[in-house]
Each structure stands twice: as structure tokens, then as C-alpha cells.
């Protein structure tokens, strides 16, 4: 996915959470603008290292170029915006899923440039009310993957949660597992 419109300092936490949600809800990676704070990138990389991946983080000096390069390569652009086609009152997710081309999902910040609306193959609204890039991304990915992303196993994780109704149980995975060996959970 691609996050545009990051405002240094002010959006530090929001952009971090966009990245965390992207990873936890099934995206393969995130492209950030080059002025995003190093600490945002470090948090995302550290999370992927501890909790598993794959999850790629990279920066760009031109989000516009990323979008057009992606399109040229046969990829599909989905831009999440309150002005788009309402996800609930259309079959837009089914149409996107059927395309099978690599998806680049874009979320914005305060103001998204006009070219983004034109370049997108799909401008998708998670309802037509203003809310948040974090919420929009979570809902879109969950609809796209039909909830399957929530039970996905992450590769090369150093730790994982053992679900529990009452306790906080975290299992440290052995180095064999981290190298792709048999699971020691159960
Ligand atoms: N007026 C903005 C817009 O174009 O959606 C709201 C800006 S909002 C603070 C930042 C980002 O959140 C937007 O660029 C968009 O990606 C996402 N967003 C907010 N509300 C949304 C909605 N209802 N549907 C889809 N995305 C939304």
C-alpha cells in the first residue's frame, strides 16, 4: 500500500498505525514518503521482525511516480476516499478481487491531490462520511480478504500470541521455527 500526505510530527502516530494495520490486515508492504520520520520506519520494521512477515517497508521521493509505474506494470490502483463508490452499496470489492492484478491501495492525509482521483482505477469509499485512513484501510482489507487475514500465520516470527480467554500468553518461537522448521505450538 501507499500512504500519501504525511505531515511530519503531526501524523507520526497515524502513519505508524496505517503501517501496523496494513501488515496486520494482510498487506505485503507499505510505501512511505521520504519525509516520514525514521522512527516510523523503525517501528514497522521492528514489528515485522518480531511478529513475522512478509512485510516490506520502503520510501519514495515521488508517490505520483509510484502510482504510474505500478499502473504501467499492469497493477491496479485502489484509492480510499470518502468521495468514492460506497463499498457497501456496490459490488466494487468483488470487481477488484476478480482483477487478480497486484493491488496498490492508497490512503491520504488532509488533502489528496486531484491526480490521485484520476489515476485510481477505483476510488472506494468506506461509507461517504469523513473518518480516518486507519479505519478505512482496516475495513477495506478485511472486506478484500473476507476476514481470512485475521487467522493468517506470519513467517519467521520471533514471538506469537496464543489466544486465551483470560490470560496474556506469548510464545517465543525457537530458532528452528524461525528458520521455517516445524511449528512448536499446540
Ligand atoms: N476529505 C478527505 C477525503 O478525501 O477522504 C478526508 C481526509 S482523512 C483525514 C485522510 C484519509 O482517510 C483520506 O485521504 C482517505 O484515504 C481516508 N478516509 C477518510 N474517510 C474515508 C472514507 N469514508 N472512505 C474511505 N477513505 C476515507
| CATH at residue 139 | 3.40.1280.10
**Pocket probe mutation, ligand 1, options 21, 108, 112, max atoms within 8 Å of Cβ:** 108
Question: From the alpha carbon of 112, which atom of ligand 1 is closest?
Answer: 14
Domain co-membership, 114 together with 43: yes
Distance CA 162, CA 102 (A): 32
Q: So what's the pLDDT on residue 100? A: 87
Q: How confident is the model at residue 183 (pLDDT cuts 50, 70, 90)?
A: very low
Q: Which helix (H) or strand (E) holds 170?
A: strand 170-172
- Look up the domain containing 181 and give its range: 156-186
Whole-structure pTM value: 0.92
Query: Could you tell me if 163 and 145 lie in one domain?
Result: no
Among the atoms of ligand 1, which is closest to the Cα of residue 128?
23
pLDDT for 186 equals 30
Residues 55 and 109 in one domain: yes
Higher model confidence: residue 182 or residue 120? 120
All cell numbers assigned to 39: 522512527
pLDDT at position 169 over 80: yes
Whether the per-residue pLDDT at 182 is higher than 60: the answer is no
Task: Kindly state the cell numbers that stand for 124.
Answer: 472506494
Residues 84 and 25 in one domain: yes
Q: Do residue 58 and residue 80 come from a single domain?
A: yes
Average pLDDT over residues 56-76: 98
What backbone torsions phi and psi does residue 3 show, to the nearest 5 degrees? -110, 120
How many domains, in total, are found in the chain? 2
Are residues 138 and 163 both part of a single domain?
Answer: no
Q: Which among 186, 158, 152 is positioned nearest to 172, based on CA atoms?
A: 158
Cα of 56 vs centre of ligand 1, distance in Å, is: 24
Contact 152, 53 (CB under 8 A): no
* Statement to judge: residues 134 and 116 lie in one domain: yes
Tell me: do 129 and 100 sit in the same domain.
Answer: yes
Whether residues 108 and 138 fall in one domain: yes
Helix (H, G, I), strand (E, B) or coil at 141: helix
Query: 127: burial class by Cβ within 10 Å (0-12, 13-18, 19+)?
Result: middle
Cβ-contact 75, 46 below 8 angstroms: no
50 and 135 together in one domain = yes
d(CA 22, CA 114): 24
Same domain, 74 and 57: yes
**Quick one: 56 and 134 in the same domain?**
yes
Nearest residue (CA) to ligand 1, atom 21: 82
What is the 64 CA–ligand 1 centroid distance (Å)?
A: 18
What residues flank ligand 1, with Cβ below 6 Å? 80-83, 107-110, 112, 125-127, 129-133, 136
- Percent of the chain residues past pLDDT 70, beyond the cut: 93
Amino acid at each position: 500500500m501507499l500512504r500519501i500526505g504525511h505531515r511530519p510530527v503531526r501524523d507520526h502516530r497515524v502513519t505508524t498505525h496505517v503501517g501496523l494495520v496494513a501488515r496486520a490486515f494482510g498487506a505485503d508492504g507499505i510505501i512511505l514518503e521520504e519525509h516520514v520520520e525514521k522512527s516510523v520506519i523503525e517501528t514497522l520494521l521492528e514489528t515485522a521482525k518480531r511478529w513475522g512477515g512478509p512485510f516490506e517497508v520502503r520510501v519514495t521521493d515521488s508517490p505520483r511516480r509510484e502510482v504510474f509505474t505500478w499502473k504501467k506494470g499492469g497493477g491496479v490502483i485502489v484509492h480510499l476516499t470518502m468521495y468514492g463508490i460506497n463499498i457497501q452499496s456496490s459490488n466494487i470489492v468483488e470487481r477488484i478481487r476478480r482483477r487478480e492484478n497486484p493491488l496498490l491501495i492508497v490512503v491520504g492525509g488532509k488533502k489528496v491531490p486531484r491526480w490521485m482521483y484520476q489515476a485510481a482505477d477505483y476510488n472506494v469509499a468506506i461509507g461517504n462520511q469523513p473518518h480516518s485512513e486507519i479505519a478505512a484501510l482496516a475495513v477495506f482489507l478485511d472486506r478484500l480478504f473476507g476476514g481470512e487475514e485475521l487467522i493468517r500465520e506470519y513467517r519467521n516470527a520471533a514471538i506469537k500470541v496464543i489466544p486465551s480467554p483470560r490470560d496474556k500468553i506469548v510464545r517465543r518461537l525457537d530458532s528452528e521455527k524461525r528458520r521455517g522448521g516445524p511449528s512448536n505450538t499446540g
